[in-house]
Structure 1
Amino acid sequence: MAFGVLIVDDSVFFRRALRELILADDRLTVVGEAANGREAILKACQLKPDIITMDVEMPIMDGISAVREIMNRCPTPIMMLSSLTQAGAVATLEALDAGAIDFYPKSSSDAKEALGEGARLLTTRLRLLAARKQRQAIVAESAARGSATVAPRHAEQGVIGRRGLVVIGSSTGGPAALQTVLQEIPANFPVPIVIAQHMPASFTGPFASRLNSSMALNVVEAKDGAPLVAGTAYIVPGGKHGEVHLRSGTLVFSEREPAAGENFRPSVNFLFQSAAQAAGSDVLAVVLTGMGDDGTEGARAIRAASGHVWAQDQASSVIYGMPAAVAKAGLTEAVLPLKEVGAAILRSVR
């Protein structure tokens, strides 16, 4: 059975292009369209789609307001479609705070051009997010019947020293997950944290600023050549690769341009591999929600250097791809619900 999609966009041309793209995938179908936020709320509650694609700027009611109302009246997975601008990034992050589950950047004002290059990725993400809604319903039904669940493996305390660091990798669902994790970390956390979140270049600066304004921990977009200091979380700049190097006894952040074919940007693998070389056994790597397997080879390098790898559990992951790949490879020492990750990181330093 195909997953039903509700398309929300004020451009008739964009709706048409998106409809054609969705209908080209036999596992998706379009159950309706809306030209503004008010229409979107009505159709979301009437048609009960499996997932909604939502534009940000629309007449009558904008996408952010519509997200809030839909999540209040008839909660549904929502993917924001936003422009690759700083203003688009800020609006998208507001929509994620309002309850949207994911975002997909429009690379152009031309509908076919904006959707063409990453069309396959977009429809894959729509399917996975729609499937998550059904999986959650099954889990809720099983819980109501009292079905047994497998308890996650717990994290050990004091696994890294004060000269080490924490590295985190995330993708789909990561912005909200990172906020949940980092808000548990105090300003005096004794080691630096470096984060590779798959994001476009224009998004990571506003994302870091938004996190920084909402928690005690200092959160910044990482700068090339900057020393990594305790009590700070560094977001790797979008569209780049971020690495950690040991220079004269100090951990330093370094960025580089991706090569052709390196599609995960920033790469969790590259961050983890460099951390393993720089800090050896004093590295804790945490793999959060995300599609694909980025982070698995990096986790392998960390374990080979006697470092430590934890992963988010399936039940709390938006997309159980990256954590699943690391767990399947036998590289995880602990598998944790999202709500426990921050507190576990706090206890991880000796």
Structure 2
Amino acid sequence: MAYRILIVDDSTFFRRRITQILEQDNELEVVGEAKDGLEALAEVKRLKPDVVTMDVEMPVLDGISAVKNIMAMAPVPIIMFSSLTSEGAKATLDALDAGALDFLPKKFEDIALNRQEAVRLLQSRVKALCLKKSALGKSSSSISRPANNEFLLSRPPPKVTTQASQNSRQESSQMTHNYGCLAIGASTGGPVALQKLLTALPANFKTPIIVVQHMPGTFTKAFAKRLNDLCKIQVREAEQGDTLLAGVCYIAPGGKQMSVQGRANSARLIISEAEKFPECVYKPSVDVTFESICDVYAGNVLAVILTGMGADGKEGCRKLKHKGATIWAQDEKSSVVYGMPQAVTVAKIAQHNYDIEQMAGRIKAEMLK
């Protein structure tokens, strides 16, 4: 049976275009359309789709308000379409706060190599979200923050481990680290996961934090600003030549590649045009950044792979682990898409898997002891 898709957009042309693309895949069926957010609410209730594609700007009821209402009424995975502008970035991040799980620019060819790749990208992103419907609930789809703006992680709950982590427990318990940095890679579902994690870190965090999130270039600056407003640590979009400082989080700029160079006590960031790494599908790439981190910090790294499609980060984590680094991954249950975390887990690279609600507490216990 095909997955059922509802398309919400005020443009008849765009609705037709998305329908044609999705229905090229026999596993996807467009079962309904809506031209505004109010119609979307009625159609979600009537059709019970597996995934909703949602425009941001619409008459009667806008996309962000529609997402909030759908997640309160009948939670369903939602992928947003937005413009590649600073205003579009802010609106998309608002939609993710409201409960949407993923996003693509309306001109999704802008983040693909060609039309065929763009079609495959859209189809795969929608199918990945279809698999989340049965497990979706308001607690896993939206960001819930206590009134004091700090997640209650002072007493970490029991950890979730995989067979790989059980096999490596004795090895890792014998290793000691003077951590030089925390490195994080993420893709689909990453913005929400990163916000949950980073808002829980204290201002006196002892190392730099390096984040690679698959995201268009116009989005990363807005994302970094939003995190900086919410977090106790400083968060900024990385710039060429930045010297890595303790307690500062550096977000890799979208559409480019970020590397770390120098020595551990005076490392700096190199931002390169994506064309210098023609073999890399992702811009930025977790593998590119993590492999460079290995050359600077060797094994004194805690690397964390969060939710996301594909396997970006696996080879970078493999190289880091070979040097003695600690590798963790988000668990399947709390991942929007269990692709990147699964890749490092199945390859027996990750020593532990944690629920995203536990991750910050585990990091603090590991790095601030």
Q: TM-score, normalised by structure 2?
A: 0.86
Kindly state the Cα deviation for residue 114 of structure 1 after the two structures are TM-superposed.
Answer: 11
User: Is the partner of 1:118 in helix, strand or coil?
Assistant: helix
Deviation readout 1:235-255 (Å, 9 max, x if unpaired): 000011111112484011111
* 1:177-326 equivalences in 2 (<5 Å): 177-247=193-263, 249-258=265-274, 259-326=277-344
**1:15: which partner in 2?**
15
**Which of the residues 331, 335, 355 maps onto 1:337?**
355
- One-letter identity of the residue aligned with 1:346: K
CA distance in 2 between partners of 1:67 and 1:48 (Å): 15
User: Is the partner of 2:131 in helix, strand or coil?
Assistant: helix
**Which of the residues 169, 178, 183 maps onto 1:161?**
178
Deviation readout 1:37-67 (Å, 9 max, x if unpaired): 1111111111110000000001111100100
User: Is the partner of 1:294 in helix, strand or coil?
Assistant: coil
Q: CA RMSD in A?
A: 2.3
- One-letter identity of the residue aligned with 1:120: R
Kindly state the Cα deviation for residue 131 of structure 1 after the two structures are TM-superposed.
Answer: 1.2
CA contact (8 A) 1:8 1:40 kept: yes
Q: Percent identity?
A: 45
* 1:54-73 equivalences in 2 (<5 Å): 54-73=54-73
Count of aligned residue pairs for this structure pair? 335
User: Is the partner of 1:242 in helix, strand or coil?
Assistant: strand
CA distance in 2 between partners of 1:172 and 1:300 (Å): 21
Structure 2: gaps (5+ residues): 138-158
More deviation in 94-103 or 242-251? 242-251
> Is the alpha carbon distance of 1:298 and 1:73 closer, same or farther for their aligned partners in structure 2, counting shifts above 3 Å?
same
Which runs of structure 1 show a deviation greater than 4 angstroms over 4 or more consecutive aligned residues?
113-117, 153-159
CA contact (8 A) 2:306 2:329 kept: yes
CA distance in 2 between partners of 1:46 and 1:218 (Å): 45
CA distance in 2 between partners of 1:114 and 1:56 (Å): 25
Structure 1: gaps (5+ residues): 138-149
CA contact (8 A) 2:76 2:136 kept: no
User: Is the partner of 1:172 in helix, strand or coil?
Assistant: coil
Kindly state the Cα deviation for residue 304 of structure 1 after the two structures are TM-superposed.
Answer: 1.1
Deviation readout 1:150-195 (Å, 9 max, x if unpaired): 9425897995325x00100000000000011111101110001000
User: Is the partner of 2:68 in helix, strand or coil?
Assistant: helix
Deviation readout 1:81-138 (Å, 9 max, x if unpaired): 111111111100000000000001122799xx9976511111111111111213569x
Kindly state the Cα deviation for residue 210 of structure 1 after the two structures are TM-superposed.
Answer: 0.6
**1:143: which partner in 2?**
none
CA distance in 1 between partners of 2:181 and 2:117 (Å): 37
